[in-house]
Structure 1
Amino acid sequence: MAVRLRWAVMSPRKSVAETQHTRQRIVERSLAIASVEGLEGLTIGRLANELGMSKAGVLGHFGTKVSLQLAVVDAAATAFTEEVPRRVGDVRPGLPYLRAVCEAWVSYLERRSLPGGCFFTAAAAEFDGRSGPVHDAVTALNALWQRDLRVHVRRAVTAGDLPSDTDPDQLVYELMGVMLALNHFLQLQHDEAAPARARRAFRRLLGT
C-alpha cells in the first residue's frame, strides 16, 4: 500500500517533468528551423516528423501555431540574453559595458549559435509589414534592447567617456546597423572576414 501510494504521489510530478521536457524539445527544434526558414516556416507536420511525435502531440503543447511562434520568440530572447548581456553583466556601466556587449554580440553571431544567424534580424524582416501578437512581441523585444543600449550611451556621456554632443539615438542606430550588416555578410555571403569588419566598425564608434 505504501509503495502504491508513493507511486501515486510521484507519478504526476514525473508527468509534469516529462511534459516540460517535451515542450522544450519542440521549442528548441522550432527555434533552429525558424532561424533558417522563418517563423512562418514552422509546420506542425514537420515538427511531429522530426521529433517522432504525432501532430496532435505537438499541437497539444501550444494550442495554436501563433502560440508556438510566441514560445519560439521567447526562447530566442532567453538565448540572446544568456549569450550577450549576461555575459558582460559585471562590466562597469557606460562605455565599458557598450564595448563588452558589442564584442559579445559579434561573438554570438560569429559562433553561429543558430544555423540561420540572428533570429531577431530574420524575424524583424519577416514581420515588419504585418500586425498581430508575433509582430508585437518581436517589436517590443527589439525596442527593449535598443533602450538598454541608449541607457549605457547616456551613462558614457555623463561620465565623459563619450563626447557631450553624442546623440544616443544616432549611436544606437549605427550600432544596430553594424550588426545587421554582420548578419547579412555572414549568412548571405559567407564572408568570414565580416566579424573583423564589425569589430573595426565598433572601434570607430566607441573608441579602442
Structure 2
Amino acid sequence: MTVDGRLARGERTRTAVLDTAVVLATEAGLHGLSLGQLADALGVSKSGLFAHWRSKEALQLATVDRAVEQWQQRIVAPALAAPPGVRRLWALHDARIAFYETGTLPGGCFFASTEFEYNARPGPVRDRLAEVFARWTSFLERLVREAVDAGELPTGTDVARLAYEVDALGIAAAVRSRLLDPETTYAHARHAVLTRLRALCPDPALLPEGQT
C-alpha cells in the first residue's frame, strides 16, 4: 500500500502545529488558545489553520489529544519497557520527571496546568480532560496492581491510594518547579516516590538506592 506523500506531509505539519499549540497552552492557558494566537506564533495565515480546525474549541480538543500523544511517547512508552512491577511503576514516575526536566514545555506540565484551569469550567474541553485524567488514574492503578500481583508490593496495599500518592508527587513537582528551584524540586519528587516504594517492596534491591 502506497501512502500519499501529500497526506504524510500534511499530517507532519498538523502535528508540528499542535506541538506549538501545546507549548502555548502551558504558557498562556488552554482556554485562551485560539486560531489567531496560533497563527501569529507560527507566522502563518489564520485561514490556513481554519482548514484543519473549524473552531477554537476544535483546536483546543485537538491540542488535548496531542498532549496525550506526547505523554504516551515520552513517559508511558519508556516506562512500559521496564519489567512489570515496582520497576515499571518507578520508571513511569522517573520518566515523567525526566520529561519535565527537558523543558520541552516551557510553561510547565500541560496536564497540571489544565487540571487547575478547567476544574470549574464546564464544557466539552473539560469533559475531554476528565476522560484523560480518569484513564491516567486507571493506568497508574493498573501498574500498582501488577506490582501487588507480582509479589513486589504487599498484598494489603491500598492500590488507589498509592497510585494517588505517586501522581500527587508528580503534580507537585510540575507546579513547584515553576516557582522554586527545579533541580531541588525534581530531586525531592524522585526521592519521595523511591523511598515510598523501597519501604513497601519486600525486595528493595529491585529499585535504585534512595536519591537525594
TM-score by length of 1: 0.87
Higher share in helix:
1
User: CA shift at 1:17, angstroms?
Assistant: 4.4
Map Cα deviations across residues 86-145 of structure 1 (whole Å, 9 max, x no partner): 012222212121011111111111222211111011111111112222111111111111
Larger Rg: 1
Structure 1 counterpart SS, 2:183? coil
Structure 1: 5+ residue stretches without partners: 1-12
Task: State the one-letter code of the partner of 1:187.
Answer: R
Residues matched between the structures, number = 196
**Which stretches of structure 1, 4 residues or more, deviate above 6 A after TM superposition?**
none
1:74 equivalent to 2:65? Answer yes
Write out aligned runs for 1:1-208 (5 A). Answer: 13=4, 15-207=6-198, 208=207
Distance 1:50 1:152 in 2: 39
User: CA shift at 1:59, angstroms?
Assistant: 1.9
Taking only aligned residues, the RMSD between alpha carbons, in angstroms, comes to 1.7
User: CA shift at 1:83, angstroms?
Assistant: 0.7
User: CA shift at 1:18, angstroms?
Assistant: 4.8
Distance 1:42 1:69 in 2: 7
Task: State the one-letter code of the partner of 2:63.
Answer: V
User: CA shift at 1:14, angstroms?
Assistant: 5.4
Structure 2 counterpart SS, 1:79? helix
Structure 2: 5+ residue stretches without partners: 199-206, 208-212
Contact 1:33 1:41 in 2 (8 A): no
Of 165-174 and 87-96, more deviation after overlay is shown by 87-96
User: CA shift at 1:15, angstroms?
Assistant: 4.7
| Identity within the alignment, % | 35
Task: Say if 1:66 and 1:152 are closer, same or farther in 2 by CA, change over 3 A.
Answer: same
